[in-house]
């Protein structure tokens, strides 16, 4: 494959063609935005179900909600989720130690925070992609065959081929696109892992509450609708191969039984191992550039961080906005433009990744006088600025 060929914008009058590999938050978002700009976009997703049924819940802060509003789906998101504006910190027994007002990183006209069921968010984005008129192929992967000054040639897993002016790799943490273009960065475990599950919402749960200490490093929950929450417990990494998935509910329930407050009511519903997810925390930040020639990375393919600040989806959604804005600006689609995308995104993403990792590291190291509140406050204040 040629090394970083010059990438001119297609000639005037020709409609640019873009292939988006991956139908998660960033891939869906960039597809919607590029279609709105009048480009021909194909989106492929490896999973036949388009990830529409997986995941428990997601916490979206204001800067993520701002992007969802730009995508035109804010009303659906607001109707599906549960908005709130504060964060409680409790002792393991449930005693509330203090309540802090969340920073409205999306502006005063949006909630500070909204929780929702992850499959509902995905379905809202799926519907918006379909309504955009983009070409969609599910259960499909792509192999990059070659690229030159005129485009990128790809072969799809069904044996067909295609050629595009630009390929966007939005295929997640273990991105095959990232490896295919010669970027050798890989995600690294941070030493922590998380148990997650959905549950009915106790009447007392109207915001996220976090307990630090007890059987786990963090015990928390987030309301995701009038009748639902998702609950999570963060512990040190264990060998995933040594944990029988049939015992997932038992393992999570064992940890949860060490917490009071709303937790006994939540714990009573942790019974189905198929509804419990166990995942390690990872860190990734590709340095230098997020593109090689006509192939560019967004979202988790370029960066990821632990959910200790609930900013992973927000950073991915912001990538889509910035990249779509640059591609729609009328500038040549060359190295200069794609490098500008990286240069614009990386200081903000690096701040979030490093802060998210640091919060976990303080806990792993048992640092009792860490300025966690100060670090979170500084980072969230920065995110009030548009990306």
For the segment 270-287, the average pLDDT, to the nearest whole number, is 97
pLDDT in tens, 293-327: 999 999 999 999 999 999 999 999 999 999 999 99
Evaluate if residue 12 carries a pLDDT over 80: no
pLDDT category, 10, cuts 50, 70, 90? low
CA distance 163 to 322: 24
pTM check: above 0.75:
yes
Write out pLDDT tens, residues 20-70: 999 999 999 999 999 999 999 999 999 999 999 888 899 999 999 999 999
CA separation for the pair 211, 124 (Å, rounded): 32
- Could you read off the pLDDT of 334-357 as tens digits, one per residue? 899 999 999 999 999 999 999 999
Residue with tokens 């992973």: 312
Q: Which residues pair with 45 in a beta bridge?
A: 138
CA distance 119 to 136: 18
- Superfamily per CATH, domain 17-80+118-187+284-382: FAD/NAD(P)-binding domain (3.50.50.60)
**Partners of 88 in beta bridges:** 99, 209
């Amino acid at each position: 494959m040629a090394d970083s060929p010059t990438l001119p914008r297609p000639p005037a009058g020709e409609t640019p063609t873009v292939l988006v590999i991956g139908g998660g938050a960033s891939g869906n978002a960039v597809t919607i935005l590029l279609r709105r700009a009048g480009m021909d976009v194909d989106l492929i997703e490896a999973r036949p179900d388009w990830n529409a049924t997986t995941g428990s819940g997601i916490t979206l802060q204001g800067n993520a909600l701002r992007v969802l509003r730009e995508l035109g789906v804010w009303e659906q998101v607001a109707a599906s989720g549960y908005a709130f504006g504060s964060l409680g910190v409790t002792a393991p027994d449930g005693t509330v130690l203090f309540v802090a007002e969340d920073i409205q990183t999306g502006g005063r006209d949006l909630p500070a925070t909204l929780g929702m069921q992850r499959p509902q968010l995905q379905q809202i984005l799926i519907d918006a992609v379909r309504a955009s008129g983009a070409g969609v192929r599910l259960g499909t992967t792509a192999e990059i065959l070659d690229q030159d000054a005129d485009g990128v040639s790809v072969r799809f897993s069904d044996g067909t081929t295609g050629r595009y002016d630009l390929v966007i790799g939005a295929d997640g943490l273990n991105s095959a696109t990232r490896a295919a273009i010669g970027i050798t960065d890989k995600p690294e475990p941070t030493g922590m892992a998380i148990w997650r599950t959905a549950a009915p919402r106790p009447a007392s749960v109207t915001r996220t509450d976090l307990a630090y200490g007890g059987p786990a490093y963090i015990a928390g929950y987030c309301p995701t609708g009038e009748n639902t929450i998702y609950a999570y417990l963060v512990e040190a990494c264990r060998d995933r191969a040594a944990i029988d998935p049939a015992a997932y509910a038992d393992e999570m329930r064992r940890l949860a039984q060490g917490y009071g407050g709303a937790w006994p009511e939540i714990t009573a519903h942790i019974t189905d191992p198929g509804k419990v997810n166990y995942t390690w925390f990872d860190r990734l930040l590709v340095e230098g550039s997020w593109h090689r020639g006509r192939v560019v990375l967004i979202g988790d393919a370029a960066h990821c961080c632990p959910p200790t600040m609930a900013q992973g989806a927000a950073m991915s959604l912001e990538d889509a906005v910035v990249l779509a804005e640059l591609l729609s600006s009328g500038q040549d689609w060359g190295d200069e433009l794609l490098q500008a995308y990286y240069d614009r995104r990386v200081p903000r993403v690096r701040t979030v990744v490093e802060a998210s990792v640091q919060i976990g590291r303080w806990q792993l190291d048992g640092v009792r006088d860490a300025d966690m509140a100060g670090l979170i406050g500084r980072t969230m204040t920065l995110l009030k600025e548009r990306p």
